[in-house]
Amino acid sequence: MSKVLPPRTAAPLEVTLLASVFVVAACGLVYELTAAALASYILGDSVLQFSTVIGAYLFSMGIGSWLSRFFERQLPAHFLRIELLVALAGGAMPALLFLANAYVPGAFRFLLYGMVGLVGILVGLEIPLVMRILKRDVALKELVSQVLTFDYLGALVVSVAFPLLLVPQLGLIRTGLLFGLLNAAVAVWALWVFRHELRRVPAHALACACTLASLLAGFALADGITTLAEDKLYHEPVVVAATSPYQRIVVTNGRAGHRLFLNGNLQFAERDEYRYHEALVHPAMAAHGGPRRVAVLGGGDGMAVREVLKYPSVEQIVLVELDPQMTRIFATDPAMLRLNAGALASPKLSIVNTDAFQWLQNSSEVFDVIVVDFPDPTNFSIGKLYTNSFYALLAQRLSASGYAVIQTTSPLVARQSFWTVATTIESVGLRATPYHAHVPSFGEWGFIIASHRPWHWPTALPGNLRFLSLPSLPTLFDFPQDMARIPAPVNRLSNQALVGIYEQEWGRVAH
């Protein structure tokens, strides 16, 4: 008769080591996500940046795992030192990348992948060392399953908390430093647990104290670091700054008045935004004659809503803005309220903070005018809002006599991009009426009216406009030869050709 062995009870050392695996995995994923998020903020194309950063990070982890074979003795000491190095390199990475982009922009990409590689190698060393330390007391079968379980659990917790809690509440710099402190705390724990095995305990204790002090100082000075970097980057004082799960929002105030930047890209300048927003809104609104129900997709700054409210016939406006941070800032900040004339507080307005694509899919409402004011298609997440799938949904929400107007980048700088949007609109059975206006902060800028019926010249405009007038309106619809129509593909959800065309055209200007 075989003897039944009692279930093995986990030793305190085993439990704490596995808890450290959880922390190590969480910290490693945070460093990976902060690097990818910063790259997408600064370099654009979030799909490309996340893919390359994650790929480089995982490859570096593989190198670290391979290098772990050369650590044979004093494993707790090596583990402690690696934790301190990860804490410093990973925790400081967002702050260093912010500063590099502001002061040495040409070095940003090199520093990004250099630091991702360094942190990846160090993180790749951590888990094998923990497993070899645990191997002294735990059977291999249980060891692998337990370590991988805690590793994956740490990754799960952080992947959920990063966009929903950490970035909105702490920002990227403080998030990195917080998890650097967690890595340093694991090192302090290792110092205490393995103090009888370690040589030069005072030196290790001093290293832990210096690391903690550096990270705590960085955490306390995080706002100052961000302000220093952004003041240098934007060349004028930053008066509003916020990080949401979707973007970095910055408002500056300088000689040109207030300027709004999303992920470093200019969205409007106070001195000439009226040109852009009057051109965006009034050709469609005035041509309709008596619009009652209006939707504004994007435009969380409230400027387009301000122009829509100039029509007494309007009874209802629905503003669909993905980022609640945008609508909060422009509904509460005194300077922003002055710019949009308090439009977001209008009783006619309903604000819906959701993805416009999903909103169109789920909505059954029909509108007389739809104003589409999205950022340019710099990445695939925005590019989907310029596809034939999106415009087919738009057509369903547009009344038979209604007009939709879409901001459509520069027909001069990004000529094929502009006409790709026109071709895509026409591919779903809508008429496309293109026009353009000169906005000094952007140059020549393009718009397209989409409709079921032909667009007609308006017979009247609101009386308090600063840019548009009936006599000057025909000039907006005249395209000179260097902006005239050229062949362009349909932008489909399955290929998003527009994103590549846009990057190529604007990339020529940047270089």
Token pair recorded at residue 350: 């309903």
Query: What's the one-letter identity of residue 417?
Result: S
Contact 334, 342 (CB under 8 A): no
Tokens 């030192």 correspond to what residue? 81
Closest by Cα among 123, 209, 109 to 158:
123
Euclidean distance between CA atoms 205 and 196, whole angstroms: 13
- 237 closest CA partner among 221, 264, 258: 258
Report angle CA 244, 248, 250 to the nearest 5 degrees.
120
Q: In sequence order, what are the beta bridge partners of 455?
A: none
- Out of 373, 376, 478, 482, pick the active-site residue: 373
Whether 476 and 408 have beta carbons less than 8 Å apart is answered as no
Phi/psi of residue 319, each to 5°? -100, 120
Question: Residue 262: phi, psi to the nearest 5?
Answer: -115, 120
Which 3 state secondary structure label does DSSP give 120? Answer: helix
Distance of CA 132 to the CA centre of its chain: 39
Tell me whether strands 367-373 and 398-407 are parallel, antiparallel or unpaired.
Answer: parallel
Give the C-alpha separation, 291 to 369, whole Å. Answer: 7
Please calculate the CA angle 493-353-387 and round it to the nearest 5 degrees. 15
- How far is 298 from 448, CA to CA, in rounded Å? 16
The torsion of the CA quartet 500, 504, 506, 507, rounded to 10 degrees, works out to 120
Residue 373: active-site member: yes
Partnered with residue 440 across adjacent β-strands are none
| Three-state secondary structure string covering 335-397 | HHHHHHCCHHHCCCEEEECCCHHHHHHHCCCCEEEEEEECCCCCCHHHHHHHCHHHHHHHHHH
Closest CA to 10 of 190, 133, 137: 137
Number of H helices, E strands in the chain: 18, 11
Q: Cα(87)–Cα(85) distance, rounded to whole angstroms?
A: 5
Non-local (6+) Cβ contacts of 244 within 8 A are 167, 168, 323, 324, 325, 326
Helix, coil or strand: residue 3: coil
Structure tokens at 108: 């940003």
The dihedral formed by the CA atoms of 351, 354, 360 and 365, expressed in degrees to the nearest 10? -30
Which residues are known to be catalytic? 373
